[in-house]
Amino acid sequence: MSKQNATPWAEVGKSHPHESAVLHVSGSANYTDDIPETQGTLHAALGLSAQAHALVRNMDLDAVRQAQGVIAVFTARDFPGSNQCGPIIKDDPILADGVVEYVGQPLFAVVARSHELARRAARLAKVEYEPLPAVLHPRAAHEQQSYVLPPMSLARGNAQQALTDAPHRISGEWQVGGQEQFYLEGQIAYAIPKEAQGMYVACSTQHPSEMQHVVAHALAIPSHSVQVECRRMGGGFGGKESQSALWAGVAALCAFKLQRPVKLRADRDDDMLVTGKRHEFHYDYEVGYNAEGQILGVKVQMLSRAGFSADLSGPVATRAVCHLDNAYFLSDVDIRAMCCKTNTQSNTAFRGFGGPQGAILIEHIIDDIARHLGKDALDVRLLNFYGRNDGEGRNITHYGQKVVDNVIHELVAELEQSSDYRARRAAIAKYNATSPVLKKGLALTPHKFGIAFNVTHLNQAGALVHVYLDGSVLVNHGGTEMGQGLNTKVAQVVAHELGVPLSAVKVTATDTTKVANTSATAASTGTDLNGKAAQAAAHQIRERLATFAAATLGGIASEVSFFDGHISSGGDTVLFAELVQKAYLARVQLWSDGFYATPDLHWDGKSMTGNPFSYYAYGAAVSEVVIDTLTGEWKLLRADVLYDAGNSLNPAIDKGQVEGAFIQGMGWLTTEELVWNANGKLTTHAPSTYKIPAISDCPEDFRVSLFKNINVADSIHRSKAVGEPPLLLPFSVFFAIRDAIASVADHQRHPLLSAPATSEAILRAVNAIRD
């Protein structure tokens, strides 16, 4: 048959629905807990420590073993191999052995005939502790020089001299809190023993390969005997990058010992008690600046709450150091970061991975500089932006990477105009002058976020693409789907490469037996890495089919076109499936593997310099809030967001990611507060005490747009990542709240407001600024 290819055909750049959208809304999308249970499946639960730091003198588990429905109880000594699940440093036991280091640390696992019976039995243990001194606050840990890793530092220029010479200086302490990932689907693993000491583990995880390694080491079996699979997660946000290992390891141990399938599903309270969160940061800073507000020198000490083990605290601190600049050129800096060891949950990855904690400090500093000088904070921000290739060196970061794709000037200018920032600033000042109780605030904040893993070797990915005789295409890659649309984008890339409709392409579950040695789906690299790998695999098939088409239809292989399920060559056009069938009969290979490694990355961890990022993603947001100065209540009235997604692969999904990140980041900075009591127990371990944003917290006027831009880096179709960077956009909400509080004192005093800016914190700040 023949078909005219009159218009350019593409499957990328279109707003396709999420590949599982119908399954999501109909309730038929399968998650780990939805897998039909194999005959004989048992259920496990964890027994948790009641002490923050103590020696375990005795564990009497007789009552647990004798409880109804209990099959077995396992402790650290039952592991055939290694009882460790630390992703970098092996300082994180799967089950505590002899000593506990936080309230909620798993001590043992009980296996019973049902989930409820296992949970009930786990509470019957009698544990004798010998209490040890517990360190519960990062500053206390710092005073004792108690760290999970050696302190790190980065210096450029002479910060102390710059501070000495500066006309103006400010200094202070500040802090931002942590954040619970609060994924909708909790931690879960389902382990099924296989023949020859094999183990299959279905796990809700962002890092199947890491789970494979943990299980193999724990059971003392080779990696080839362990299969880890993840079809999708009900959210991850970093909480399932490393910390799903404990759940996978325990489920696998129980299944291995009993030779029966075992499921370990975390109750929400247990999940929050056991797992780590976003790192809380405490800052000491000193900054010098001139009369215009230009920053001349910066000295910063950052103390993070690492928890009891290293986990991913090192890379998180590294990214925080590298993102202290946000969108601003800092000529002279002295930055020090300490990962403080506390007897609390071991904190881990969370969307932004230290970037937000680094960038928000410089925004706080600029906010104070502007107020001190009586300037609009936006004007101080504009003055300090990175330059372009102006020959003055104002486009080199403090860690030595050249900023070659700086569009922050144009992006902020566009948002300033489209949001009517200046007119609204004047209107709010007029409103506040006549409103003694309700006060409005406005802020515009930018961001520059580096895209790539801090650790260079992690920037690699693989994929498999199979073309079947009916023209349908099956894709498998190393990334994991957690609702962010990764599989949709990868399918679009493959469909585009082969010239078939998106409906012809299916992406299967992530599986360690298909693509080996994968990196975590994290650092906003999921589409960049796996999209490129899948494109490489599909391209090889396309080249083979093009050669075959030119040989059978006439024409030149390089000029064969693939479009809308058709292939055209030599003036003739056939269906894609038709040519595939002929190619099969001619013994043309119809499947291929693909691999991608991000080029031009390097990093010196000792000097903390190099080229750690492939490119930068930019964005900015304007937020308008109103606060009640009598109660501390507040509301976001309007948000205008402009985000640089490059040449977006799927604008609808990208906008959805920006919206979600904005609200999630707003929750971190306003409503989500983690509280530990004097005994080290996390008291905010359930939805009743820990408040994530709800639909009512979203602004009625929410304007999200994508900035028109083409990535200068050779990313997949010149797109940019949209996972983590937008979480920095709601900085504007926090500083709008701070602006509203400052108006109580006619902007003459700095509000004493840390994050999260809960209603109680806002009220305290209002009262303080009045005194």
Q: Specify whether 673 is catalytic.
A: no
- Phi, psi (deg, nearest 5) at residue 182: 45, 45
CB 481 within 8 A of CB 233: yes
| DSSP bridge pairs for 464 | 476, 593
Please list, in sequence order, all residues whose beta carbon lies within 8 angstroms of the beta carbon of residue 195, skipping any fewer than 6 positions away.
Answer: none
> Which of 762, 749, 19, 735 shows the shortest CA–CA distance to 377?
735
CB 473 within 8 A of CB 467: yes
HEC per residue, 220-289: CCCHHHEEEEECCCCCCCCCCCCCHHHHHHHHHHHHHHHCCCEEEECCHHHHHHHCCCECCEEEEEEEEE
Distance CA 305, CA 339 (A): 6
CA 299-303-304 angle, 5° bins? 140
Distance CA 732, CA 441 (A): 10
SS3 state of residue 116:
helix
Burial track 334-343 (b if 16+ CB lie within 10 A, e otherwise): bbbbbbbbbb
| DSSP bridge pairs for 70 | 112
Please list, in sequence order, all residues whose beta carbon lies within 8 angstroms of the beta carbon of residue 692, skipping any fewer than 6 positions away.
Answer: 180, 182, 667, 671, 672
Please list, in sequence order, all residues whose beta carbon lies within 8 angstroms of the beta carbon of residue 174, skipping any fewer than 6 positions away.
Answer: 282, 283, 285, 361, 364, 754
Q: Which is the catalytic residue, given 392, 543, 724, 760? A: 724
CA distances (Å), origin 554, targets 4, 5, 14, 541, 585: 17, 17, 32, 19, 18
Burial class (CB in 10 A: 0-12, 13-18, 19+), 615: buried
Q: Which residues are catalytic?
A: 724
